[in-house]
Amino acid sequence: MPSSNQKKRRILISPLNWGLGHATRLIPIIDELVKAGHYCLIAGESPSIDILLHTFPQLPHAKLKGFNVRLSKHRQQWPILLYQIPTLLKAIKQEHIQTQSLAKKHKIDLIISDNRYGVRSKEVTSIIITHQTRPQLGKVFNRFQAISNKAITQLISKFDACWIPDTEIKPNLSGHLSEPIKTVPTEYLGIKSRLSIANSEATTHEATDILVILSGPEPHRSQLEEILINQLINSKRSVTIVRGKLDSKPDNFSNITLLPHCKAADLKLLICQSKFIICRSGYSTLMDLVYCNKRALLIPTPGQYEQEYLAKRASSLFGFSTVPQNRVTHSNIFTPRIIIQQKLFTFDYSKAYTPLAHLISHKFHLPPNNNRFIPGFYLLVKKIVTFKVYASINNRRQEKP
């Protein structure tokens, strides 16, 4: 808790709108800032901003349009993602213009952006929250990892500081994803779960045998929901599925209960009382599980190398289990390994917690050479496309008699 004479900041806070995880991990951060007496303006789009406004209905908010990513229904995501990069770069520029306008209008003196590279201003101290300073590209594009790292470094170097929601103590949850960038002051905030501020009474009914937590962008969220319902329906176990859809309604059929979304207190109770948990390996979901000291069967979103990396790491270091989405069956959901692994963590999430009070009182200095970030992206795209074109030509030549 900051002292009474600490300067009260006027803070603009904006989450990335790719799934709900970027918003939910901001909840304990916003809670700490509000309790310290700082003015917080929430800026963003539905559905991520809806989560924050539901938790903090008293806070002012503003629309800050971003980029809505489109994913393929298939595992290979690189073609559609490459196609969207020019639009992404344009969106970053547009959200930067919007941010500067909002900062001026609301007299903002601090900006906190969760993975939104355009939400910053040269006139206002700007901080980015991310656990991906070194995004994983997978085996196919591993040769372009150095170029990708340089491009991300150039983007993050536009900010005055980088906050990582993890511990600096090894082994940590994010691993190589969150290695510090030398050109930007970096702070490790510790594990940030919205369940840590769940003080209200839960309204959930009796405990469930199997808890399914769905998250992430479409169409893969709906695909996994359909797969799991088909595998779990009419089993002898009670199943609760948290759909991660704010616009849906609760429903019950057979042994399955569908919930659109859960308050933090309800989700905490469900996680703690459930015998089995099945979920994506999204980073915010993993932080919630670590906070509750629970393991789960992790099903990475197809083609999202970050989730595949996190699932593999959690499986090898922290006793989780993982299975690809295309191999989800009734038998591998209920393997003995899952049952054996319901024991306590050795990972201490409470270590290396960094209070925000002294962080937001810092005077930051912009790093040098922070005005060149787009060339890195174009170089990465050019090399990947060239690689794929040559690979395609070689394959066609080999197919000819």
Q: What is the pLDDT of residue 380?
A: 56
Structure confidence by residue, pLDDT tens digits, 272-311: 999 899 999 999 999 999 999 999 999 999 878 899 999 9
pTM comes to 0.81
User: With 60 as the cut, is the pLDDT of residue 316 above it?
Assistant: yes
User: With 60 as the cut, is the pLDDT of residue 210 above it?
Assistant: yes
- What is the distance between the alpha carbons of residues 267 and 39, in angstroms, rounded to a whole number? 28
Q: What is the pLDDT of residue 344?
A: 41
Structure confidence by residue, pLDDT tens digits, 239-256: 999 998 877 788 888 899
Residue 247: burial class (beta carbons within 10 Å; 0-12, 13-18, 19+): exposed
Q: What is the pLDDT of residue 5?
A: 58
User: With 70 as the cut, is the pLDDT of residue 75 above it?
Assistant: no
Q: What is the pLDDT of residue 156?
A: 93
Q: What is the pLDDT of residue 341?
A: 46
User: With 90 as the cut, is the pLDDT of residue 144 above it?
Assistant: no
User: With 60 as the cut, is the pLDDT of residue 326 above it?
Assistant: yes
Q: What is the pLDDT of residue 374?
A: 45
Across the chain, what does the average pLDDT equal?
A: 81
Confidence of residue 388 (pLDDT cuts 50, 70, 90): low
Q: What structural domains and CATH numbers belong to the chain? A: 10-190+354-389 (3.40.50.2000), 200-340 (3.40.50.2000)
Q: What is the pLDDT of residue 205?
A: 59
Confidence of residue 77 (pLDDT cuts 50, 70, 90): low
Q: What is the pLDDT of residue 328?
A: 86
Confidence of residue 170 (pLDDT cuts 50, 70, 90): confident
